[in-house]
Amino acid sequence: MPTSSPADTPYDLAITGGSVVLPDGTAPHDIGVRDGLIVHIGAGPLVARRSVDARGKLVLPGGVDAHCHMDQQPWEGRSTADDFRSGTLSALCGGNTTVLPFAMQMRGQSLRAVVDDYHERASRKAHIDYGFHLIVGDPTHDVITQELPELIESGCTSIKIFLTYEGLKLDDYEILTMLDFARHEGVLVMVHAENEACIRWLTDRLLERRQTALRYHVTAHSEIGEREAAYRAISFAELIDTPIMIVHVSSGSVVDEIRRAQARGLRIFGETCPQYLFLASEDIDTVDMSGAKCVCTPPPRGRANQPAMWRGLLDGTLGIFSSDHSPWNYADKIAGGPDTPFTDVLNGIPGIETRLPLLFSAMQTKPGLTLSKFVDITTTAPAKLYGLYPRKGVIAVGSDADFAIWDADRNVTIRNEMLHHAVDHTPYEGTRVRGWPVMTISRGEVIYQDGEVTSNAGRGLFLPCERPFAPRRSPAPVLAERPR
């Protein structure tokens, strides 16, 4: 759908000669940018103040990482290693132009105060544009009737809830209340699906038996507990008749639950992350403590689980692919030294810069993973689901001029020293990939080019997100006069 607008004045930027990935396919086009927006896609030549020669390269919409943590307030006693400055720097060097991190409310806190503080941090430091998901850890009457409606109005239209973790987890009654609220407002609830009692009970039994090695993290965070929580969340979403997103799906059995729910016509969305496709529980089970670099929740499952994850991604059951970048330094992850019990290892792994290259490279070996599928699950679908489309997530006239230019033939061996996060390791150290983003453009500004960062911290803008769904003020169907 190339379109053009007459260029009576020079464009601010022209991107010429590249293979441009548009919603209806990839083709050579020249792109003209004015005032930070795409105003021309089609034939050249274009007169512009600055031109980028993209011959031999792929021009993709800038990646949208819809699940990442940065500048997060202390949790388990620590703040994330990345703040908005280093987190968004790492993101942009990995081909992203939009991030959606989390403003996290814990029990006893005001959500409004958490979000105000988060705005303050982000506006001074972000290199690229950002929106916020809201973690609701304390759904009080005030939060539900005052704070949340105002925050939604201001553009925070997605809410994450936890079914586990002290200080964050909601009980079943609170979950139903939040889902009913989301139906009423037309916002999306993201669910961390793990069964709290399963984790606690298994952990207690393991500790009684002094089974504290890293591999028991995977036992404690069982696949069955994840499946139960996912099924419960799906059931509650069905009861209330509102969409949910099961985030960081780690296991084939959860993929099966989501697939079954979707086949019944429910709007249940699924997200997975690189750690569930490219890492496995075997990577945690090391003779030394280095396996802690792969510890996150839910954990990567056994390598035999990976094909089911790929199937879920390729058949559309899992509709988005995010990093769940949760950066901690290795020394902090194993603060108790070589005998740190699994219960004390900080959960979460870095991955905001490697998310896109890992998946891009997999296009060589996964036949169903086409370039348009890659762009959809990493960029377009998250922009749509979180109310940012078509401003973000697509190359189209009128959209923000956000691009990642890829050299599809560049061979790279991932080393932590080449990454831009403030973390001392990557779980993907030594992984070889083919294809790398060589230039990132945000709202028409070249912010990264072949290893050189030309961005300034603080240039990123807050993105108010639209409500992804129409608000439904009617009561849940189950409350209809005639029982169904």
Residues engaged in binding ligand DUC (CB under 6 A): 69, 192, 247-248, 297, 324, 326, 347-348
CB of 70 to ligand DUC, least distance (A): 12
> C-beta of 53: minimal distance to ligand DUC in Å?
40
**Secondary structure element (H or E) that encloses residue 303, with its range:** none
Instruction: Decide whether 48 or 284 has the Cβ nearer to ligand DUC.
Output: 284
Q: Provide the 8-state DSSP code for 120.
A: H
Q: Which of 83, 185, 223, 324 binds Zn ion (CB under 5 A)?
A: 324
Q: Does the protein bind Zn ion through residue 129 (CB under 5 A)?
A: no
Q: Where does this chain touch Zn ion (CB under 5 A) — which range of 186-194, 206-214, 215-223, 303-311?
A: 186-194
Residue type, 335: A
Rounded least distance, CB 232 to ligand DUC, Å = 17
What are phi and psi for residue 101, nearest 5 degrees?
-85, -175
Size of interface with Zn ion, in residues (CB under 5 A): 2
Nearer to ligand DUC, 95 or 351 (CB): 351
Considering the complex, state which of residue 147 and residue 194 has its C-beta at the smaller distance from ligand DUC: 194
Nearer to Zn ion, 223 or 324 (CB): 324
Closest distance to Zn ion from the beta carbon of 273 (Å): 8
Give the one entry of ligand DUC, Zn ion, none that residue 348 binds, where binding means its C-beta sits below a cut-off of 5 to 8 angstroms depending on kind.
ligand DUC
In our burial notation (b when 16+ CB lie closer than 10 A, e otherwise), range 260-271 reads: ebbeeebebbbb
**226 near Zn ion, judged by CB under 5 A:** no
The residue among 422 and 441 lying less far from Zn ion, judged by its C-beta, is 422
Tell me the closest approach of the beta carbon of residue 298 to ligand DUC, in angstroms.
Answer: 8
d(CA 139, CA 161): 10
Tell me the DSSP string of 71-114: SPPPBTTB--S--HHHHHHHHHHTTEEEEEEEEE--TT--HHHH
Give strand pairing partners of 105.
Answer: none
**Closest of 129, 93, 237, 126 to residue 175, by C-alpha:** 237
* Closest CB to Zn ion: residue number: 192
Give 40 or 192: the residue with its C-beta nearer to Zn ion: 192
Could you say which DSSP state residue 33 is in? E
Instruction: Select 192 or 293, whichever has its Cβ closest to Zn ion.
Output: 192
Residue whose C-alpha is closest to residue 358's, from 414, 319, 295, 401: 414
Give the Cα separation of 297 and 278 in Å (integer).
Answer: 15
Q: Which does 114 bind (CB under 5 to 8 A by kind): ligand DUC, Zn ion, none?
A: none
Strands 188-192 and 268-272: unpaired
Distance of CA 192 to the CA centre of its chain: 13
CB atoms within 10 A of CB 466: 13
Instruction: Find the shortest distance in angstroms from Cβ 67 to ligand DUC.
Output: 7
Q: How far is the CB of 477 from ligand DUC (least distance, A)?
A: 30
CB of 348 to ligand DUC, least distance (A): 4
Question: Which is closer to ligand DUC, CB of 71 or CB of 400?
Answer: 71
Under the criterion CB under 5 A, does residue 221 sit at the interface with Zn ion?
Answer: no
Asked whether the beta carbons of 245 and 269 are under 8 A apart, the reply is yes
- The tokens describing 458, both together, are 């603080």
Q: By CB under 5 A, tell whether 192 contacts Zn ion.
A: yes
* Helices 306-314 + 252-263 axis angle, to 10: 30
Q: Which residues bind Zn ion (CB under 5 A)?
A: 192, 324
